[in-house]
Amino acid sequence: MAHIPRLEIKDLTRSFGGRVVVDHVSLSVEVGQVTCLLGPSGCGKSTTLRMIAGVEMQDSGEIWVDGRLVCDTVTRVPPEGRSIGLMFQDFALFPHLSVADNVAFGLKGPKARKRARVCELLERVDLLRFIDSFPHELSGGEQQRVALARALAPRPKIMLMDEPFSGLDNRLRDGIRDETLSILKEEGTAVLLVTHEPEEAMRMADEIALMRAGHIVQQGAPYNVFNAPVDKEAAAFFSDIN
């Protein structure tokens, strides 16, 4: 049987006002793996992620989840039907809802079952004691973990993360990155992580796709991309990591 990746995008392309910002981007993400879309600001990372999430429509190209076509120019499965979870830097918690209600937000079904899932996840992110608190009573790092629990609640097959750690101060960031990764790995979720920081990609990725001006210019294991950059520009991009 042919191998089927968890997420596969083929030749995804999008223009704004006649300017191509995502140009025939193809990549795949495997079960239990973290693929990092890495590149400087403005190169088209967020637009790529938004198309995969289904909140932005591509001009051409295909998106496949577990071997099922979810979007091309004819088919268009709505965002909530794609089994995709989202964690964006500005994807804030709902301030007027408790931690429990934030985590339960995307869940359907009987109340008791939703409650059980909420408790399970809050335990996993070590925040069960805050179940009846409100977002403003939590630190930035704790809010981030609630956002992770909320995104995981409907058991998405894929988690899309757009610079989710950049709003956190340095002191917290490493711990939260590691914790987030280990929870995602335990859940077996495939992750597509967007970042402009080479150091973050080196730390978190199983696979790096280096993006520049709408194109993927190099793809491979972090060690290989770091040690054998495709050109001078790629080398310079990685040069501030020690």
Q: Pick the closer one to ligand ADP by CB: 15 or 83.
A: 15
What's the one-letter identity of residue 151?
A
Span between the terminal Cα atoms of the chain, in Å? 43
Which positions from 28 through 67 interact with ligand ADP, judged by CB under 6 A?
39, 41-47
Q: How far is the CB of 21 from ligand ADP (least distance, A)?
A: 4
Q: Shortest distance, CB of residue 22 to Mg ion, whole angstroms?
A: 12
Identify which of residues 33 and 47 has a Cβ nearer to ligand ADP in the complex: 47
Residue 42 interacts with, from ligand ADP, Mg ion, none (CB under 5-8 Å by kind) = ligand ADP
User: Residue 144's binding partner, choosing from Mg ion, ligand ADP, none, with beta-carbon cut-off 5 to 8 A by kind?
Assistant: none
Shortest Cβ distance from residue 164 to Mg ion (Å)? 11
Q: Could you tell me the smallest distance in angstroms from the CB atom of residue 190 to Mg ion?
A: 20
Q: What residues contact 233, with CB distance under 8 A and at least 6 apart?
A: 212
Nearest to 82 by CA among 13, 149, 159: 159
Tell me which residues in 36-75 interact with Mg ion (CB under 5 A): 46
Which residue carries 């990372």 as its tokens? 45
According to DSSP H, which parts of the chain are helical?
A: 45-53, 99-104, 111-124, 140-152, 170-187, 198-204, 222-227, 232-238
Considering CB distances under 5 to 8 angstroms, the limit depending on partner class, which of ligand ADP, Mg ion, none binds residue 44?
ligand ADP
Distance CA 164, CA 172 (A): 13
As measured in angstroms, the least distance from the Cβ of 173 to Mg ion is 18
Partner in contact with 217, chosen from ligand ADP, Mg ion, none, beta carbon below 5 to 8 Å by kind? none
Residues 8 and 28: beta-carbon distance below 8 Å: yes
Distance from chain centroid for Cα 140: 19
Dist CA 37 CA 152 (whole Å): 21
Closest approach of ligand ADP to the CB of residue 25, in Å: 11
Sole residue written with tokens 């996840």 = 121
Rank residues 4 and 20 by Cβ distance to ligand ADP and give the closer one: 20
**What is the total count of residues that contact ligand ADP (CB under 6 A)?**
10
Chain residues that interact with ligand ADP, rule: CB under 6 A: 16, 21, 39, 41-47
Chain residues that interact with Mg ion, rule: CB under 5 A: 46
